[in-house]
A and B are shown apart, each in its own frame.
Chain A
Amino acid sequence: MSILLVGVNHKTAPVEIRERLAFNDEACASSLRQLVDGEIVREGLIVSTCNRVEILGATASDKLEFSAGRIAQFLDTSGSLPAGFLDAHLYRHTNEEAVRHLFRVASSLDSMVVGEPQVLGQVRHAYAVGVEAGTVGRVLNRLVHHTFRVAKRVRSETGIAANAVSISYMAVELGKKIFDSLKGCSVLLIGAGEMAELSARHLVNAGASRVTIANRTEETARQLANEFGATTVSFDQLDQVLHETDVVICSTGAPDYVVTEARTRKALERRRNRPTCFIDISVPRNIDPAVSNIPNCFLFDIDDLESVISSNIREREREAERAELIVQSEVMQFQQKLRLMDIGPSIGAMRQNMQDVALAELARQRKRLGPLTKDQEAAIESLLMSTVKKISHPLLSQMRRFYESSETDAADIQKEFED
Chain B
Amino acid sequence: MRSLLLAVLAAYLIAAIHSILAFVNKRRSLQRVAEWSMAAGFILHTGALIADWAIDGHYPLFSLRESLSFLAWALVALYSIVLYHYRTQAVGAFTMPLVSVLTLIALLIGTDASTAPAAFSATWLFPIHTTLLIFAYAAFFIVFMASVMYLLQERELKLKTFGATFHRLPSLTTVNEIATSSAALGLTLLTLGIATGVIWSSTRFGRFWRNDPKEIFALLTWGLYFFLTCYRLTANWRGRSAAWLGVVGFALVLLTFVGARFLGSYHVFG
Contacts and interface: CB of A to CB of B under 8 A. Distances in A.
Contact of A311 (B26, B153, B163, B236): B163
A373 B3 CA distance: 78
A173 to B, nearest CB: 10
Interface stretch (B52-60, B76-84, B170-178, B184-192): B170-178
Interface residues of A, number: 25
Contacts of B158: 292, 298
Nearest to B163: A311
A398 interface: no
Given A292-B158, A300-B160, A177 B153 contact: yes
A180 B241 CA distance: 20
B193 to A, nearest CB: 31
A178 B241 CA distance: 17
Nearest to B169: A177
A280 to B, nearest CB: 12
A20 interface: no
B157 A178 contact: yes
Contacts of A275: 172-173, 239
Contacts of A218: none
Contacts of A178: 157, 171-173
Nearest to A303: B160
B194 to A, nearest CB: 31
A327 to B, nearest CB: 17
Query: Which of A273, A300, A304, A307 counts the most chain B CB atoms within 10 A?
Result: A273
Contacts of A159: 26
Contacts of B26: 159
Contact of A295 (B28, B174, B239): B239
Contacts of B207: none
A274 B242 CA distance: 13
A193 to B, nearest CB: 22
A157 interface: yes
A274 B239 CA distance: 9
Interface string A151-165: 000000101000100
A235 interface: no
Contacts of A322: 25
A177 B236 contact: no
Contacts of B167: 163, 311, 315
Interface in A172-207: 174, 176-180
A308 interface: yes
B240 interface: yes
Given A272-B235, A273-B237, A307 B160 contact: yes
Interface string B21-59: 000011111000000000000000000000000000000
Given A178-B171, A308-B162, A298 B157 contact: yes
Contacts of A315: 164, 167
Interface string A286-321: 000000100110101000100110011001000000
Contacts of A304: 160
B156 to A, nearest CB: 8
Nearest to A300: B160
8 cross-chain pairs, A with B, having the tightest CB-CB distances, nearest first: A180-B171, A311-B162, A304-B160, A180-B173, A296-B239, A180-B174, A272-B235, A178-B172
7 contacts: A177-B172, A178-B157, A178-B173, A179-B171, A274-B235, A311-B162, A315-B167
Interface of A: 157, 159, 163, 174, 176-180, 272-275, 292, 295-296, 298, 300, 304, 307-308, 311-312, 315, 322
